[in-house]
Structure formats: structure tokens, C-alpha cells
Amino acid sequence: MSNTVDQKEIQAFSKDSMHWWDHNGPFKPLHRLNPVRLGYIKDKICAHFGRDPLSLKPFTGLKILDIGCGGGLVCEPMARLDATVTGADADAQAITVAKDHARKSDLTIDYQNKPAEQIKTTFDVVLALEIIEHVSDPAAFMHNCAALCKDDGLVILSTLNRTPKSFALGIVAAEYLLRWVPQGTHNWKKFIKPAELAQHARNAGLHPLHTSGLIFNPLKNEFALSKTDMDVNYFMVCRKSEAGKT
């Protein structure tokens, strides 16, 4: 696997790592969008693996890896759904925060301070949420995700589209006007169009199954899924083909 960690990006995030669980801190947007994000992830995993979405523990027996897990905002809900969860992040301080919060929450999660390419096992589901726009080589990163996924498993990504609208909302508004995130959090040139992400997936042996937009409704002050609007944020679910199959 290739090393795709961008050290400048890690340094930028690490200065705020102590605030991962502060709902009004620098990661406020992630807390705000987390209910919609988690609902989407749960629905897609349950549908693919034939699990009951109404069950309190639908992920029993599933191994899930969250690459770029930060402070554990997604790992903890996955563990509560009874998955065996591994969270990996190159930011040592984020992992320290994640471990401490999981311990206080009485959750067992395997947090590892390492990049994806140093993980030596495979998983039923690989999550790569809001991270591919921060790596040094998106194509190589997608190959890393595929290598960590079991045959017929899922790789679920979320990222930002590279459009004029995403520049206006994702950078100008979010970083400078609303100050939702620290200035310099994102580089618009590293945003990825859905067609580009899908091609990276196919080149890595993954098959895009579903794409959904994620939009913010300022009137309701909440995020929601969209079947048509992928101009700013979007999800992509990919399946890893079984050996010898397409």
C-alpha cells in the first residue's frame, strides 16, 4: 500500500484535536451532520448484509474500520450497534482523545495511531468519511481502502464536490463567514467530483453502488440527504467484487 498521509493536513487538524467532542467547537459541523450521516451508513450496511435496521444490534459480527476516525464520532455509534470497530488516524492526539472518550463511554474500540497502509487485516466495511480530500494521493488512497476491504464488503466514502457552489459554501461561507470550521481547513483544488471518485473506485477494484448528496437547510438549521443535489457534499457506497468476479 502507498503512504497517502499529508503531514501538513495532519498538523492543521492536530491543533484542534482536543476539541473533537465539543459540540460547539471546531468540529461543530460534523456533530451537526452526524445523525444524517449515521442513518445513511446504517441503512446501506443493513441493506447490503441483510440486517434488520430496527434491531438494536444490527451489526453483530461485522468488522468495521473507520479511516481518519478523529475523536471517534462515528466509531462510537458503530460500536453501539454491536460492530467490532477499529478506528485509525495519523493524528496521535486525536487517538488519545478517542480512547479517553470511549473509555468513559464504556465502549470497546480498537483505536490505532497509524495510517491505513500500516493496518494488516481486512474488514467487512471500510469507512472513509471526510478524509479523501485531505490525502496526498486520492487514487492510491482508494487502492488502500480496497485492500482493507473483504471480498463483497463495502467501502463508504463522503467528501466534497469540486464546484463553484462548494467553493462558495464549503470554503467562503463555512470558513470565513459562518466560521463553522477554522480557516484553511479545506483546499478547494483537492475536492473531488463524483465521476472522479467513481473512477478511482473502479480502478481499485470497487464498484460504485449508490451516491447521495448531503445538503444543509438553513431554514431548518439541519442537514438532509438529497437524491439530486451533490454540488457540495456527497456520499458514495462501493462494493468490493469477489475474487474473479466483476
pTM for the structure as a whole: 0.91
Percent of the chain with pLDDT over 70: 89
Averaged over 208-220, what is the pLDDT?
Answer: 91
Count the Cβ atoms, other than its own, within 10 Å of residue 56: 9
CA distance 125 to 240: 10
Cβ burial of 227 (10 Å; 0-12, 13-18, 19+) is: exposed
Domains and CATH numbers, the chain: 7-240 (3.40.50.150)
Closest by Cα among 115, 69, 118 to 95: 69
On the question of pLDDT at 246 being above 50, the answer is: no
pLDDT at 6 over 70: no
d(CA 133, CA 160): 7
Rg (CA), the chain: 17
Of 26-35, 40-49, 51-60, 116-125, the range with the lowest mean pLDDT is 26-35
- Over residues 162-171, the mean pLDDT reads 84
Q: Compute the mean pLDDT over every residue in the chain, rounded to the nearest whole number.
A: 90
Find out whether 18 and 93 touch, Cβ atoms under 8 Å.
yes
Look at residues 124, 158, 144 and name the one whose alpha carbon lies nearest to residue 38.
158
